[in-house]
Amino acid sequence: MQIMKKNLKVLFLAVFVAAASCSFTTKGFDDPDKDKVLLDLITYVLQKGHYDSKDINDTFSEGVYTDFIKGLDPLKRFFLASDIEEFSVYRTEIDDQIKNKELTFFNLVHARFAERMDEVKGMYGEILDIPFDYSEKETINVDYDNLGYAKSKKEVRQRWRKQLKFSTISSYYDLIEEDKTKSESEEGYAVKTEKELEEKSRLDSKISLQEYFEFTNDLERKDYFAVFLNTIVEEFDPHTNYFAPPDRDRFDLRMSGKIEGIGARLQKRNNYINVTGIISGGPAWRGEHIEVGDIILKVKQADEEDAVSIVGMRIYDAVKLIKGSKGTKVTLTIKRVDGTVEDEVITRDVVEIAETWAKSTVIEKEDKAFGLINLPTFYFDMENYKERNAATDIKKEIERLKAEGMEGLVLDLRDNGGGSLRAAVDIAGLFIKEGPVVQVASSGKSKEVLEDKNDEIVWDGPLVILVNELSASASEILAAAMQDYKRAIVIGSKQTYGKGTVQNMIDLNQWLRKNDLGDMGSLKLTTQKFYRVNGGSTQLEGVKSDVVMPDRYSYIDVGERDYDNPLPYDKIAAADYKIWDGYIDFQETINRSNARMAQSEQLKLIEENAKWIKMRRDENNVNLNFDDYSAEIAKRKEETKKFDAVGEYDNKMSYRSLSNEIELMKQDTTLRKKRKRWHKNLSKDIYVEEAVNVLQDLKLNNIKAGKVANIKN
């Protein structure tokens, strides 16, 4: 979200004065060790600058204790139960150690983890040297949260045997299927024996683990200490993060938008690298290779024979493997949302910036024309907002659609993760005469109300906003404002993402009067919170759609509520705003739409698919018997056939590009292909179909249009 510069200056001034009085210098500490200075400095800035500062007490200590141990060993395959018993004396002592700048807990856990890793390095090769018996009736439970720690090294070895068999059986199955396919399609192909394929699958696993431990061998104590610091700061909220110097450089590079790679946002959760966003215009988006909710298990470079497992790998090390130069290929082993595992070959590229801009189409239904504007992000030029931004582009698209004779407008904010707050406010102003759009609260300060002060209304006709679980931040602000004003009907998921907070990057080096310890890194700090004009926060609860339409994420937590320690939902006083009174039958239209959705066979199938996906994701027992494993895969493939109809839907509406774009297409064949693909996807979209139905139902009050009903708050 765009930085609130005014409030940021106030924060810096307040904290700087306080920090100066505390004399953060490298002198005055009994132990000038950098880690202790960092610990002291970070906790001070957190308590003084965080929007919702927490007491660092015994409860806080228990959170750090649990999360740090889990962060190092989420699959419980290193630490012993005796280790945890030894660590437990510090469960409620970490807060005191933080205040006293002591590192006893960290030093003990870090040293023991290194010791246990060395022990495992000596056993995994021995396990993989022996063929697995896939005829044995055996399962593995992957519900690691409810798994106890091993009581002996013998039990640790048994866990690793099962874990390695689990990771190898999928490779073995794939090799058999690949061999079968080649024998049927390639003349003269020499079929491999099951023994050869089983041996190859174990070798692949061994090489993958060797690569993994090579990465861990490069990690130093400071890397693990950065993990410890992040465990501390993330107890405040999930978006407050510590960035060690190299990590901050990577963050700055990512924010510049010029990284070459696959074009996906990734996050590490429970030892797995999860896809949390697809960047519009990137290669993953263009090729429709992966989707939010997928897990990346392995990475294989084009010039290498073997894939590297990234399970358990640090997020930045995993990203380093995944990204690469434009034009190079990378093969990702993906565990899909529905539990299936597939390989995807992606050609790396830079994000096509033009694909992040607003684009429009004319929807023709019967004898009427409607407009749809897709907005992937609330973009703006960081050097000069007036140069180009989402709001001015949306205004141009509306004018063009009006010239095409549109009778209603759909604004598609699905998968839009946010961006410029100012752009969101300016876009809201295109649909209302004037008034507040969002309230911004900062810790210890009076709220700030951001308003549309331009009384021009660019579009005063029927308006629908499409959202889903991935519509976040600025998207939620715009959708919430239009919902509160009753200016638009919001259609989509039960609720949006639920991120209603603002973060600012703070350079920790500025707090040190004298620094002989080197670069201290930066802290991304949550400093503000957003509230709707009706007083409700968008935090955690997001925006609840007026018309709820299920999708495949309906039963999966993919938003703010899926994080640990999110800030809570709350309310403040409503702003003074005036409901838009241009509709005759606003609520009646919502009721009619909900009634239609209740009867839709397509939506019933989509919801059934969502429930099936949830069921598959919740299954914790995996067969390690090859026949049972194969039968389970065959069963899943058969079950998914009934859901093929979801992607074969035809909403029986036609789509065409605007006149100005048709002219461009005469010279730009690539643009023509992109729009053809987009229109094909829209033709299968039941959500767009219902949006148009709602636009048709909305009747304008031509007498009162533009007038308002006052609300006294």
The DSSP string of 463-488 is EEEEE-TT--THHHHHHHHHHHTT-S
Contact assessment for residue 636 and residue 152, using Cβ atoms and an 8 Å cutoff: no
Residue 492, sorted as left (phi over 0), alpha (psi -120 to 50) or beta, turns out to be: left
- Domains with residue ranges and CATH for the chain: 55-235 (no CATH), 258-347 (2.30.42.10), 354-500+537-710 (3.90.226.10)
Residue 663 amino acid letter: E
Beta strand 139-141 pairing with 368-374? unpaired
Low-confidence ranges of the chain (pLDDT < 50): 1-32, 251-259, 703-713
Cβ-proximal residues to 16 (8 Å cutoff; 6+ apart), any chain: 510, 511
**Which string of b and e fits 605-639 if b means at least 16 CB within 10 Å?**
bbbebbebbbebeeeeebbbbbeebbeebeeeeee
**Which residue in 184, 120, 191 sits closest to 157, CA to CA?**
120
Q: What's the distance, CA 352 to chain centroid?
A: 20
Q: What is the pLDDT of residue 29?
A: 33
Contact assessment for residue 167 and residue 205, using Cβ atoms and an 8 Å cutoff: yes
Contact assessment for residue 46 and residue 508, using Cβ atoms and an 8 Å cutoff: no
Contact assessment for residue 484 and residue 577, using Cβ atoms and an 8 Å cutoff: yes
Contact assessment for residue 477 and residue 499, using Cβ atoms and an 8 Å cutoff: no
Q: What is the pLDDT of residue 352?
A: 64
DSSP 8-state assignment for residue 218: T
Residue 66 amino acid letter: T
pLDDT tens, position by position, 19-29: 333 334 333 33
Beta strand 308-309 pairing with 489-492? unpaired
For the record, the structure tokens of 4 come out as: 């609130």
Q: What is the pLDDT of residue 287?
A: 72
For the record, the structure tokens of 158 come out as: 């048994």
At how many degrees (to 10) do helices 58-72 and 104-121 cross? 20
Cβ-proximal residues to 27 (8 Å cutoff; 6+ apart), any chain: 514
Residue 55, sorted as left (phi over 0), alpha (psi -120 to 50) or beta, turns out to be: beta
Q: What is the pLDDT of residue 342?
A: 81
Paired strand residues for 296: 273, 334
Distance from C-alpha of 438 to C-alpha of 56, rounded to nearest angstrom: 32
For the record, the structure tokens of 8 come out as: 């940021």
**Which residue in 94, 87, 92 sits closest to 109, CA to CA?**
87
Q: What is the pLDDT of residue 702?
A: 65
pLDDT tens, position by position, 178-209: 889 888 888 888 899 999 999 999 998 898 88
**Which residue in 76, 132, 75 sits closest to 623, CA to CA?**
132
Q: Which helix or strand (DSSP H or E) is residue 170 part of? A: helix 153-185
Strands (DSSP E) contained in 209-271 are 241-243, 264-269
Residue 227 amino acid letter: V
Tally: H helices and E strands in the chain: 22, 22
Contact assessment for residue 242 and residue 223, using Cβ atoms and an 8 Å cutoff: no
At 696 the three-state DSSP class reads helix
Cα-only R_g, the chain: 28
For the record, the structure tokens of 273 come out as: 């690298």
